[in-house]
Structure 1
Amino acid sequence: MTSSDRTLARDIDAACRLTGTFTLRSGQAASEYFDKYLFETDPALLARVARQMVPLVPERADLLGGLELGGVPIVTVLSGLTGTGALFVRKQAKAYGTSKLAEGPPVEGRRVVLIEDVITTGGAVRDATRALRAAGAVVDTVVCAIDRSAAGSTPLADIGLEVRAVLTKTELDAERTG
């Protein structure tokens, strides 16, 4: 864990890991589910996660882009802690009003660090990266609360994106067995 908060993995796991019968996004059935919104809606846990993200944000960041929906509460707190401006990045540009993909200041020519709650395969991050790059942003880093990708994998290397995580699946799983 990159964090100096040694109890964070235990507390996140205790708050968010649910047991029962669940249908995953992939359509598969599972007996466990990780409900990330349970830490994002808990002000104390959210603040602890955001504090641990601060040293993971590259110094050269111009803007922090929180991905809809889970990255938005995190980026709001993190922006306040770092003094770096925030963007709220939609899954797709809205079809009315300003028709923006990213709500906030212009991104063209600016270094945007993406902020996400949980990364498993990185699909949403990949889509946001491509869209922001097409709008002229420089995107090379994503900071996430939890990297649930397989140990040793780099799910976003194919698009040149570095993943920096507060916690990993391995660390959370160790709380179940430890």
Structure 2
Amino acid sequence: MDYGRTVAESLLDIGAVKFSLNPPFTWSSGIKSPVYCDNRKLISFPHHRDIVVRGFVEKIKELGLNPEVIGGTATAAIPWAAFVAYEMGLPMIYIRPEKKAHGAGKQVEGVLEEGKRVLILEDLISTGGSSLNSAKAVREESSALVTDVMAIMTWGLPEAETNFARADLKQTTLTTFLELISLAQERGVLSAEDAAKVSEFRTDPHSWAERVGIA
């Protein structure tokens, strides 16, 4: 199955992805974006949810990753880690954004033995910050082997490529921002002109609005 297209179709079908160039969406960071993506909606649609789970499992096998533990970044990827771990009969953990200020002060929740191979799942990769933070926590708390992060979608930002390379991590996704744009144009959701403007976002999100004449 072509999961790149199929997952992109699911995201558009359930309204997880919305496009708006003028006015654009404003992220919490202040960045003006032509796209809003809420992959968390997928868990409420069994058919589309199953497509993503199958996609993860097949991609894991295709790449020969052979994880011993599935980890999910909190909070959006926790359900995906649970679904995939169940399908593969593997232990699951999840990773908090930071250590708890009380109790055992753990950042990694669940039972994780020393030196295990952990695959971290994400719902969406932007700059890679949460993925890298999770990988660092898993490596430090249990000396686990973390080589890969897998996500539903990536924005394809150059900053993410740099960050993953520095952290010695590989990233794999089921679909991409460009795949979504292509499908949206094919469906008539975006005109060719608007699709070109939207695709410009990934080259430099901070200056996108000004570059396309919206700021």
Q: TM-score range by the shorter chain?
A: 0.7 to 0.9
Larger Rg: 2
Query: What is the aligned residue count?
Result: 176
Residue 29 of structure 1 deviates from its aligned partner by 2.9
After TM superposition, list the pairs within 5 Å mapping 1:45-124 onto structure 2: 45-57=48-60, 58-124=64-130
Cα distance in 2 for residues equivalent to 1:165 and 1:114: 12
Range with bigger deviation, 110-119 or 141-150: 141-150
SS at match of 1:7: helix
Distance 1:111 1:81 in 2: 17
Unaligned 5+ segments in structure 1 are none
Moved over 4 A (4+): none
TM-score w.r.t. structure 1 length? 0.88
Q: 1:157 aligns with which of 165, 170, 185?
A: 165
Is the aligned partner of 1:144 residue 2:158?
Answer: no
- The residue identity in structure 2 corresponding to 1:165 is T
Q: In structure 2, what is the Cα distance between the partners aligned to 1:130 and 1:170?
A: 29
- Per residue, is there more strand in 1 or in 2? 1
Do the aligned partners of residues 2 and 131 (structure 1) sit closer, same or farther apart at CA in structure 2, a change above 3 Å counting?
farther
User: Structure 2: which 5+ residue stretches go unaligned?
Assistant: 187-215
More helix by share: 2
CA distance in 2, matches of 1:92, 1:165: 24
In 1, distance between residues paired with 2:7 and 2:33?
A: 25
Which amino acid in 2 is paired with 1:17?
Answer: V
8 Å contact 1:2–1:167 — kept in the other structure? Answer: no
CA contact under 8 A between 1:40 and 1:70: conserved in structure 2? no
Secondary structure at 2:114 match in 1: coil
